[in-house]
Structure 1
Amino acid sequence: MLKIEHYPLSRVPQTQRLSLLSVAIVHMGMLTALDQFMLGAVLGNSMAVLDAFIAIFIGSLIFGIVTVGLGFAGMREGLSGSLLARWCGFGRIGSVLIGFVVAVSLLGWFGIQNAIFAHSLNFASGDKLGFSRAAALSGILLTTLVTFGFKALRFTARIAVPLFIFLIAYISTSVLSSGTDQYLHEIIKLPHSGEKLSISAGITIVVGGAIVASLMTPDLTRYTKSGKHVFGITLLTIIAGEFVINGLAILIAKALNTADVVTIMSQVAGGTGLMVVVFSTLRVNDLNLYSSSLGIINAIEGITGKKLSYPPTTIAIGMLGTLLSILGILERFVDFLTVLGVVFPPILGIMLVDYYILRSHRQVLGNSLKKGTLPHETPTIGWAAIIACLIGSIIGLRTDWGVPAINSLLLASVAYGVFKLICKRF
């Protein structure tokens, strides 16, 4: 059984490598959750069907290239993403900062998922609770569960995935199979009813919805046996998460004329659909809160040397995430994905440029790989990587031309390469 928390600060030995399927199931789980269905529903409600699938295709292509590249490095070195970043431009403190950025993004996901949970509770109560009160209740409940490690979370995690997949299959069958191909053809021709998204904006939010999984890919592929396995895992994840889950959500949102997940689930599956939404948000949010808490603790310790206690840190982060829900982060879902789709690609691009093109520490990594240890030399902080990330992210967010996700990725990668060449020369 795959345990991604094993070997946190060491290489995964060849004797512990697993089959393609063992790793692929875990990796696919990152993109076959409720958040991907939400993303597909937004695309379907804001774009023409053809434009939405173009956005998925190009966004998946970007995701696939960076994921295979980083995943192969993780497989070859047997290192997690955070460790790999130390010798791929960012240094020890730079890799800690990456962990902090990931933790903050997971906090945002916690707020969004908690808002979905709250809408479900409020809908089930006949709007008697009110959204703010429901969000406070659901946030406090989940924070308590994660903080004190109740076993109920393990139970929900086991049943949430199969229930969610079954529900998507049921809704797809109910909504899309009206007996004729003509009905599906009519759905495809329906205009969008939500706020219009351009193809470039759609590509960026598709990247934003999956890009954190790219950064986490080495955590999983360090257990794989070959580059073919890395490619197969990435391909299966794209097919399952982007084209199946997102694709079905696009068509369902078109047919029902809404991007609201709670409305979709309750309208088609009633109370059962709402229960599955609740289980799915529990399953995803316990990981979001747990990982975010650990990320913040590790970042603070890495920068200041002070170790925070887990329970109060989790409670504080849970309350902050709950506040984000109450303040309306769900209403900013597209903006949130856009930020992720612009901020994370520069990190990945810089790591790939350093590992495959500049090869700054490949010799050090190669020598230590033969011994099965970590390199003795660890750069403290990679200023060139951090500055290039800031340049790529700012320009990607502030410019209107092209595709923001591609802009930030390419600009940061080129800037990093130029900085390193200048430093090497002078």
Structure 2
Amino acid sequence: MASETAVSAPRTPRSESVAVDDYSLSRVPMSARYGWFQVAVQRFGQISALSQFLLGATLGFGMRFWDAFWAITLGAVILEIVSVLVGVIGVKEGLNTSVIARWTGFGKAGSALVGLAIGLSLIGWFGIQSGVSAAGLVSILPILPAWAWSLVFGLLVTAIVLRGFHSMQWLANVTVPLFLVLVGWAVVVELSRHSIAELAARAPAGPQLSFVAGTTLVAGGFIVGAVITPDMTRFNRSVGDVVKQTLLGVTLGEYVIGLAGVLLAHAVGSADITRVITSSVGWVGILVILLGTFKINDWNIYSSSLGVTNFIDAVFGKQVNRGLVTLVMGVVGSLLAAVGFLGALTPFLSVLGVVFPPIAGIMVAEYFVVKRWRRELSDAESIPATSPTWVPATLVIWAIASLCGYFVAVGIPSINSVVIAFVLYVVAGKVGLIRGVGVSRTEAAPAAVAHTAATEQGTPATAPAAAAAEPSA
């Protein structure tokens, strides 16, 4: 890994290009990383969005309170395990998900597919959620039509993400407390009309939802966020920080917001919680919707831009600035939301979502068990000079696990596919089937160039990446 001395990258970077590019193809230096609680606020903001509120309402509409509680508990544990394992890879290597994939079983071409899947999926959801927020804005300020608010909301989020992780941290510090206060107000107003004990004992108003189905909804609802955890944890300082922020962010996000949704669904006998909130507290309810969508949408476009940047680098050999990619994708996503086109893509995006869970299983199996490219990745001070071009066995495993996740209805589909991918990759590794085909040279990323220049001038380098990611407190 490039040393702190070699790479000039303080908390608020001096270089405008680095500030916008945000280490899209290079390791994040220790000097640009954050304390665990700061990143935990981002994680909580990511998982405590409006979608989590609606998930809780769906559970409450079809399950008794304590059944929903245990479904949320099991789903949260599953998400925490996946998030911690892939998050540890992120903090140790300081790289984002799609770049790490080059040396965790996928090869350069395979990582391009990972980046493309992330880019297409998350920019689609970015546009869809921009449209949801626009509908809320029309209710508060009908001075503009919904299509115009879609543009305003989407471009505003894009402008914040252009500045990278630093600006997103500022956004989290503002929106997360406000979201919690407003959600708390809306929930208290509605639940004050009922007895909590009576609500907890009440039968659900809707069709019964099984425990497995409820757990599937919880785990599947955030599995994509769990897979792309390295995009966030590369800004952590230690493995312990990753564990603390995951336990705090995921647990609070699932329980506080999810269970509030369960109780509200029991109180009003409906899963349409947005209508309940807006009718209870008026325009404040719209603010809840806006803030909840705002914080998740910045991560949608941020991780999307990282995936597409890696795709362009891997396929075309061009290192484009992440900020430029963010701008283009933000404008396109906002325009598609404005014309209502993305609504037709929801089924496609849902199907695309089944390809994500196996990615985590393969990355964890390679990095912690098979270790075919682990030493090559961890010992490099910047990033390895080469990577395998293709890993055919990985593509086969990825396809099999994705198909199992889509077609096999027994158990929890998203977790089935993670486990199947993990097991198949470990077995393939043990029998010698995990082999790279072709060798691709890694183009010098900005941080790597800075490190090389500093080394040539006699600046000492630090320990390898794995050691550098574990500084003393």
- Pairwise CA RMSD: 3.5
TM-score, normalised to structure 2's length?
Answer: 0.75
Whether 1:386 and 2:361 are equivalent positions in the alignment is no
Change (3 A) 1:50 1:169: same
Change (3 A) 1:32 1:150: closer
Quote the offset at 1:178 in angstroms.
4.9
Quote the offset at 1:166 in angstroms.
0.8
Of residues 391-400 and 412-421 in structure 1, the stretch that sits farther from structure 2 once superposed is: 412-421
Q: Which residue of 2 aligns with 1:176?
A: 191
Quote the offset at 1:393 in angstroms.
1.4
Q: Which residue of 2 aligns with 1:218?
A: 230
Distance 2:43 2:359 in 1: 20
Opposite residue 184 of structure 2, the aligned amino acid is A
Distance 1:406 1:24 in 2: 24
Of residues 110-119 and 56-65 in structure 1, the stretch that sits farther from structure 2 once superposed is: 110-119
Q: Is the 8 A contact 1:346 1:393 kept in 2?
A: yes
Distance 2:191 2:383 in 1: 53
Sequence identity percentage: 36
Question: Number of matched residues?
Answer: 409
Quote the offset at 1:187 in angstroms.
0.9
Change (3 A) 1:325 1:120: farther
1:76 to 92, 99, 109: 92
Correspondence 1:71-110 to 2 at 5 A: 71-110=87-126
Q: Which residue of 1 aligns with 2:60?
A: 44
Distance 1:336 1:194 in 2: 27
Change (3 A) 1:33 1:423: same
Change (3 A) 1:265 1:38: same
Change (3 A) 1:20 1:305: closer
Unaligned regions of 5+ residues in structure 2, if any? Answer: 1-10, 13-18, 436-473
Distance 1:30 1:191 in 2: 31
Quote the offset at 1:221 in angstroms.
2.6
Opposite residue 40 of structure 2, the aligned amino acid is A
Quote the offset at 1:403 in angstroms.
1.6
Distance 1:190 1:115 in 2: 35
Correspondence 1:147-166 to 2 at 5 A: 159-166=174-181
Whether 1:350 and 2:365 are equivalent positions in the alignment is no
1:33 to 49, 60, 68: 49
Whether 1:139 and 2:150 are equivalent positions in the alignment is yes
Residues 305-337 of structure 1, C-alpha deviations (whole Å, 9 max, x = no match): 5779755554333334453554494xx7xx977
Q: Is the 8 A contact 1:140 1:319 kept in 2?
A: yes
Whether 1:299 and 2:307 are equivalent positions in the alignment is no
Correspondence 1:290-369 to 2 at 5 A: 291-292=303-304, 295-296=307-308, 298-305=310-317, 310=325, 313-322=329-338, 323-324=340-341, 326-327=343-344, 329=346, 340=353, 342-368=354-380
Q: Is the 8 A contact 2:24 2:306 kept in 1?
A: no
Of residues 298-307 and 414-423 in structure 1, the stretch that sits farther from structure 2 once superposed is: 298-307
Secondary structure of 1:380's aligned partner? strand
Residues 261-294 of structure 1, C-alpha deviations (whole Å, 9 max, x = no match): 4302212211222133234434443553455356
Secondary structure of 1:378's aligned partner? strand
Quote the offset at 1:357 in angstroms.
0.8
Unaligned regions of 5+ residues in structure 1, if any? Answer: none
Q: Is the 8 A contact 2:63 2:208 kept in 1?
A: yes
Correspondence 1:240-255 to 2 at 5 A: 240-255=252-267
Quote the offset at 1:10 in angstroms.
2.7
Secondary structure of 2:204's aligned partner? coil
1:273 to 273, 279, 285: 285
